[in-house]
Structure 1
Amino acid sequence: MIRMADAVCRDCRDWKPLDEFCASSKRPSGRGSYCKPCFNARSKASYAKRVKERYDREVKPPRTVPDGHRFCADCGTVKPVADFPRNGSDSSGYASYCKPCHNLRTRETKQRLYGGSGEYHLRRRYGVGEKEFQELLAEQGGVCAICGTPDPQHLDHDHRTGWVRGILCFNCNGGLGQFRDDQSRLAEAITYLRGTTWQRVLIHPGVYQMCSPTRGRPPSPRS
C-alpha cells in the first residue's frame, strides 16, 4: 500500500517514506529524487569518475577494520589498538600510526627540525642546544664540575629555577638527585663520612645515651 507521504526512488524504483530521501530545497517536497542508499552510491561513483579523469587512478575500495583494531596509513596494515600509542587528542584515544611507524616518524622529525634526538632533548628540557652544551663543557675543562671525571654527559640544572648549573658525570648527577639538591642533607652526609656525628645508643628500654663519635665498627668475621 502506497501512502501519500511516500515517494519513488528513480534508481531502485522502490516506494519509500520521504524521510528516507536526501533533503533537497529545489523540490516542492523538500526531498531529492533518490533514496539515501542510492544517493550515496551515486556520490561514490561520481567521485571515482572524477578521480579517474583528473588523476588517472582508481579509488581504493572501502577498508574493513575489525573492532578493537586500527589501520596504520604508513605501513598499510591493520593492527590491534594495543599496537598504537595513546593520543588523547584523537577521538579514539590512539594515534594514527602504529608504534614502530610512530617512532620512526618521531626520529625523522627530530632529525629534520633539531638535527638529532640529543639536540631535541636539550632544547625541550633545558632550553639550550648542543652548541651551548659544548661551550659550557669547554669552560669546565672537559671534565665533571664536581669530581673531575673526563667527558661528562649529564647537564645539571636547578630544579627550582630551571637554570643550568653545569655538566656532571653520571655518579655526581645521580648523587645530587638522591640528596634532592638539599645543602643541609649534603652537609650532614659530609659530617657523617668524617665520623664526627654523635650517636644515640639504646641502653635500656626507652632510655638512650649519646655516645662519643665513632668511625664505625669492624666487619664481622666470616663464618
Structure 2
Amino acid sequence: MKLLRRSAAKERRVVATYGLAPGDWEKLFVAQGGKCWICRRYKAKAVDHDHSCCSGKTSCGRCVRGLLCGTCNGILGRWRDAVEVLLRAVEYLRDPPARRILGLPPLENGAL
C-alpha cells in the first residue's frame, strides 16, 4: 500500500512538473531499459527537458528529451546544452592536443 501511494505521488509530481501525461514517465523508463540515455550505466531518475523552451525547473511537456542520471543531467546543465562545447569535448578525448604538440607516441594499450 505504501509503495502504491509513493508511486502515485511520484506520478502526480512528474505530471505537474514536466507536463507529461500520466504513464509517460514509465514509458520512457521502460523504453530506456531503466538506464540513463547518455551513459547507460546508472538508473534514469532525472527528466531532462530543453531549457531554451522552458527555462525553469518545470516543463510544458513538449520539450522533454528523455530520462538521465543525475550526473549526465548535471553535465548538460553545466554546459547549458551547448552542442559545440560537447562536440569539442569529444574531439579532445579522441585527439588530445598534447599528443600533437608534444609529439607523444600512441598509448601502449591502444587507447586513443
TM-score relative to the length of structure 1: 0.35
1:193 aligned onto 2:93: yes
Q: 1:152 to 1:192 in 2, by over 3 A?
A: same
Selected match of 2:47 from 155, 161, 185: 155
Name the amino acid aligned to 1:166.
G
* Among candidates 212, 215, 223, match of residue 101 of structure 2: 212
SS of corresponding position for 1:165: strand
Where in structure 1 do 4 or more consecutive aligned residues deviate above 6 Å? Answer: none
Structure 1 residue 124 corresponds to structure 2 residue 24: no
The alpha-carbon distance between structure 1 residues 214 and 156, as it changes in their structure 2 partners (threshold 3 A), is farther
RMSD (CA atoms): 2.6
In structure 2, stretches of 5+ residues that fail to align are 55-62, 105-112
Partners of 1:137 and 1:197 in 2: how far apart? 38
* Greater RCO (Cα-Cα under 8 Å, separation 6 or more): 2
Higher percent of residues as helix: 2
Larger radius of gyration: 1
Ranges in structure 1 where 5+ consecutive residues have no aligned partner: 1-110, 199-210, 216-223
Equivalence map 1:67-216=2 (5 Å): 115-116=8-9, 118-129=10-21, 131-162=23-54, 163-197=63-97, 212=101
Give the aligned residue type for 1:191: E
d(CA) in 1 for partners of 2:47, 2:16: 13
Greater percentage in strand? 1
Distance 1:194 1:153, change over 3 A: same
